[in-house]
Amino acid sequence: MHALFNALPGIEVPVGGINAGFKKLWADTPAKESRAMQLNLVLHLGLNTTPDDAEQQFRTTVEFAKRYPCRVVVLCPESDPAAEKLFRAKIYGECFLGKSGKDTRCCEFVLLAYPLGTHDFLQNQVSVCLSTDLPLYYWAHRFASNNRLAAYDYLLTRSRRVLFDSALVPHDAFSFPWPNPSAVRDLAYTRTRPLRQTIGQFLSRYAPADIVDGLRAVKITHRDDLNAEAAAMISWLKKGLLRCGADPESGIDFGIVPKECKGCFDIAFNYRDPKKTFVWSADLNGRTAEFEGDLGHGRTTLTANARLLDPAEALSEAMFH
């Protein structure tokens, strides 16, 4: 019972004693005058979250907070009907030394264990836990269904950004009627930013017409656990090719093919003219990629870096861009 809540660090306090608990926590801390918060983040752990997974997301959030001091509220649902139908709370604080002794940044965590079906009370409790007058961000991690997510509309509507990871949520998450679609960010797409940047820079050396003329197929071959990232990349490539002038009715075949490999993530363009080619082959484990292209003006090759953003980087990228 309360497996997620129990797996995370912190000092348990009465639900009504959270603010008093923080006052006591920081009372003897030299950095107590340097705890200016920049934002509120609600990390909502879904029912599919395991205790190990919860710890991993907690540490990711702490890494994020080293750069962006924040108040974090971690919501831990309890679905066991035998569990005690009560809220439980923990508090946690951590400070980090910067490049100078005066550069100290701190974060505050409130962890709330709650039984399902208590949405109204949970809304009130979250509101009390947030720092006033600071922007709110909402990270829905491993939510089990769109219907369950819809019950937390007060977080979906109030938040400056709503984050989820398409690798970890139901496939119909993209069809969910988000109250503010422009605020929604997919962490799988965000992780691919370095790949999109290097591929875009390489293709920018060609005229748009050369890229799309005679294009028959675009294929991504990838390590089998990177399907969400591959789907994000194929969507990005479709939009880019349309901006280059590709005819949406031309029947270009877009495909994603998983395979067993250590770190492969390859993109290939296939043209009617067999002399035209574009191939990008990456080894994400080795963080390198090889480009090869000939779009009618001679063969060009290039070696570049290739990596996915780490979890804390992806979190900040999704929140602020």
The domains located in the chain, with CATH, are 3-179 (no CATH), 193-305 (3.40.30)
Q: Residues 144-180: pLDDT tens digits?
A: 889 888 889 999 999 999 999 999 999 889 999 999 9
Range from 245-249, 255-259, 262-266, 279-283 carrying the lowest mean pLDDT: 245-249
Tell me the C-alpha to C-alpha distance, in Å, between residue 209 and each of 86, 190, 214, 234, 280: 63, 28, 10, 19, 19
Tell me the C-alpha to C-alpha distance, in Å, between residue 61 and each of 72, 99, 128, 193: 8, 21, 21, 20
Query: What's the confidence (pLDDT) of residue 99?
Result: 64
Query: What's the confidence (pLDDT) of residue 246?
Result: 94
Range from 81-85, 93-97, 121-125, 132-136 carrying the lowest mean pLDDT: 81-85
Query: What's the confidence (pLDDT) of residue 30?
Result: 62
From 106, 114, 110, 113, select the one nearest 18 (Cα to Cα): 110
Percentage of the chain with pLDDT > 90? Answer: 77
